[in-house]
Amino acid sequence: MTDTLKIADKIFSSRLFTGTGKFSSSQKMRDAIIASESELVTVALKRVEINNESDDILIHLNESHINLLPNTSGVRTAKEAVFAAELAREALGTNWIKLEIHPDPRYLLPDPIETLAAAEELVKKGFVVMPYIHADPVLCKRLEDVGVQCVMPLGAPIGSNKGIVAKDFLEIIIEQSTVPVIVDAGIGAPSHAAYAMELGADAVLVNTAIAVSQNPVEMGIAFKMAVQAGRMAYNAKLAPVKQHAEASSPLTSFLNE
Amino acid sequence: MSNFKDTFELYDWDSLEKEIYTFSATDVQTVLSKEKITLDDFKVLISPAAKPFIEQMAQRSNALTKKRFGNTIQMYIPMYLSNECQNICTYCGFSMTNKIRRKTLSDAEILKEVEHIKKLGYDHILLVTGEANRTVGVSYLKNAIKLIREHFSNISIEVQPLDQEDYESLIKEGLYAVLVYQETYHKATYKTHHPKGKKSNFEYRLDTPDRLGKSGIHKIGIGALFGLEDWRVDSFYTAVHLKYLQKNYWKTKYSISFPRLRPHEGEVQPKVEMTDSDLVQLICAYRILDEDVELSMSTRENSNFRNNIINLGITSISAESKTNPGGYAVEPQSLEQFEISDERSTEEIKQMIKSQGYEVVWKDWDKSYTELI
């Protein structure tokens, strides 16, 4: 049985999603993404000329196996996000949208209130909505209720490379979710990605760690392998972690006497 | 709501100056061992004691900048709309008493300049004027933004301080950012250099970023003009200002610029010299204080310096700038506000940036986002 991931009507063989920002050139971005075998690549609307067919980023992503996932980075409200999503749908011919509403331009932390409002409206308008959110289990359920096709909780502040610092909350989200859970933001090393997958995440999204690496192609491959390893380990069921060593002088041995 | 003036008044220039000059190498080492630094730590990093640690600071600044901004440099270009000015600023080529020919661009001239600028590839533009409220007031600026809006994704202005409702009306037309430098936070020195005109009002200028924050602007640029006073104390005040603004107007982005006084038509030459090494120290200190603030470098600086600064924490630069109204296409020979040092073409700058392993970013905003407000 192949272990594929289905979101809305699309089936992905790769559980590694990637981004397009921060690379030292569009060619390097392309090479790294192809090496990573990622099939879903997010691109900020504000960085591309969506109506220009020769836009430098877009032409470098023109591959049949790469699905573009436009994102709304830069918007501050639900209203702006809905407008941006409609622009993207019209220009790029996709109804998929990575919903990012972070009114705080410093830590780029998502606004849960605006995100929920925008998600509800976008679902009604026929979008496949992938919301970037805090690792907030209740918010994830509320988003499911309005019909999003997956949730994208953060592992750590975006771009921080700190790894899965929100572990306890991510575990609750994974346990409760009826839609795929994609850990987005904060993943700084392949080991972090593998760890998220071992916890049961359905996929991860990695950008900074690949783009800013000295060798983005090698790092893309490393992430691909880490995600596969983590997924395989999850499917194979990890051996339980022993919380305590077994005492040499058991307290209950008298029961057997 | 609070105003920066209250925070500003908590500090005393002379005591700060004294303190900054008494730190030791041990103080610097202590600060550099911390993961996150405070405003007090920042004082240490801009002190003379930190100079021997400049390489260590540069490495850290480089790594932090790459983490946050990636391998990219944002390009922008200034467009001077007018050199009319009713202020006397002792250091400025546009100062009211300077006998230069005054010019304010007409609609047709603005569009001619835009045509030239667009051919160079720019998508982020900075509109600059002097302060002549009757001829180059809010309605002139509004008209200029309207005229150029369809040609640029991102429009900033560097003009006289305005009232909150004026900023609000310009934002509605598509304005993204406002740059307004305090010049110096030393009140007495400020008065000496701005003896006449609306700009002589220190407090009104000091509270301008507050008015901008309240107007909901996307980005505010702040800074001091280096050469008027001790750069270390002025930079500390700028850092205090930054932290105050970030706390109070948390939805706004911030940028810092580093203008050093250049030779020009005015009379005053720099009182305090800021060396290249000082400027590098300062840029790195700002980055270590704040991972997210945009740090901007203009063509005031020379080619060699600009080539090297790309790696040190700077996130946006201009190229091929003309500091005279109509300087690109209308009247390329007229007198500039200050001499630019790096006269290389946009193409040359682009190649220089690429050769250092950075992507040149032209567009990082979508005008539809600004128009929605």
Q: CATH number for the domain including B125?
A: 3.20.20.70
The two structure tokens encoding residue A112: 């849960």
The two structure tokens encoding residue B139: 């309605």
Give the model's pLDDT for residue B52: 96
pLDDT tens by residue, A81-115 = 999 999 899 888 899 999 999 998 888 899 999 99
CA B228 to chain centre: 16
Q: Is the pLDDT of residue B352 over 90?
A: yes
Cβ contact A169:A136 at 8 Å = yes
d(CA B366, CA A44): 10
Q: Which fold has domain A5-256?
A: TIM Barrel (3.20.20)
Give the model's pLDDT for residue B373: 52
Best of A29, A31, A46, A51 to mutate (most B CBs within 10 Å, chain B): A46
Give the model's pLDDT for residue B266: 55
Measure A197 CA to nearest chain B CA, in Å.
Answer: 24
Give the model's pLDDT for residue B267: 58
d(CA B54, CA B38): 18
Chain A residues lying within 8 Å of B246, measured CB to CB: 106
The two structure tokens encoding residue A183: 């850990």
Give the model's pLDDT for residue A244: 66
Q: How many CB pairs under 8 A join A and B?
A: 72
The two structure tokens encoding residue B232: 């270390």
Q: Is the pLDDT of residue B55 over 90?
A: yes
Least CB-CB distance to A46: which of B68, B71, B366? B366
Q: Is the pLDDT of residue B75 over 70?
A: yes
Chain A residues lying within 8 Å of B121, measured CB to CB: none
Chain A residues lying within 8 Å of B361, measured CB to CB: 47
Q: Is the pLDDT of residue B336 over 80?
A: no
Least CB-CB distance to A45: which of B252, B359, B366? B366
Q: Domain extents for chain A?
A: 5-256
Cβ contact B320:B344 at 8 Å = yes
pLDDT tens by residue, B110-122 = 999 999 999 999 9
Residues of B with CB under 8 A from a CB of A: 66-72, 153, 246, 250-253, 292, 354, 357-359, 361, 363-366, 368-369, 372
Whole-model pTM: value is 0.87
d(CA B142, CA B127): 11
Q: Is the pLDDT of residue A51 over 80?
A: no
In this complex, do A46 and B369 lie within 8 Å of one another by their Cβ atoms? yes
Q: Which of B297, B292, B329, B289 lies closest to B223 in space, CA to CA?
A: B297
In this complex, do B71 and A23 lie within 8 Å of one another by their Cβ atoms? yes
Chain B residues lying within 8 Å of A79, measured CB to CB: 372
Give the model's pLDDT for residue B283: 97
Least CB-CB distance to B363: which of A25, A47, A106? A47
Cβ contact A161:B67 at 8 Å = yes
CA A210 to chain centre: 14
- DSSP string covering B46-71, please? TSGGGGGGHHHHHHHHHHHHHHHH-S
Cβ contact A99:A133 at 8 Å = no
Q: Answer yes or no: A98 catalytic.
A: yes
Give the model's pLDDT for residue B296: 96
Give the model's pLDDT for residue B40: 95
Q: What is the residue range of B17's domain?
A: 4-371
The two structure tokens encoding residue B239: 């850092």
Q: Which of A131, A118, A100, A113 lies closest to A7 in space, CA to CA?
A: A131
Chain B residues lying within 8 Å of A161, measured CB to CB: 67
In this complex, do A84 and B369 lie within 8 Å of one another by their Cβ atoms? yes
pLDDT tens by residue, B121-173 = 999 999 999 999 889 999 999 999 999 999 999 999 999 999 999 999 999 99
In this complex, do A105 and B292 lie within 8 Å of one another by their Cβ atoms? yes
d(CA B368, CA B153): 8
pLDDT tens by residue, B207-226 = 999 999 999 999 999 999 99
Task: Read off the pLDDT band of A243 (50, 70, 90).
Answer: low
In this complex, do A48 and B70 lie within 8 Å of one another by their Cβ atoms? no
Q: What single-letter amino acid sits at A88?
A: A
Q: Which of A6, A22, A98, A167 is catalytic?
A: A98
- Computed over its alpha carbons, how large is the radius of gyration of chain A? 20
Average predicted confidence (pLDDT) for chain A = 91
Task: Read off the pLDDT band of B341 (50, 70, 90).
Answer: confident
Indicate the number of domains in chain B: 1
User: Lowest-confidence range among A53-67, A129-143, B53-67?
Assistant: A53-67
In this complex, do A75 and B369 lie within 8 Å of one another by their Cβ atoms? yes
Nearest residue of B to residue A210, measured between CA atoms:
B70
Q: Is the pLDDT of residue B339 over 80?
A: no
Q: Is the dihedral of CA B151, B157, B159, B161 positive or negative?
A: positive
d(CA A86, CA B350): 33
d(CA A170, CA B97): 66
DSSP lists the bridge partners of residue B95 as none
Give the model's pLDDT for residue A238: 83
Q: Is the pLDDT of residue B333 over 80?
A: no
ipTM over 0.85: no
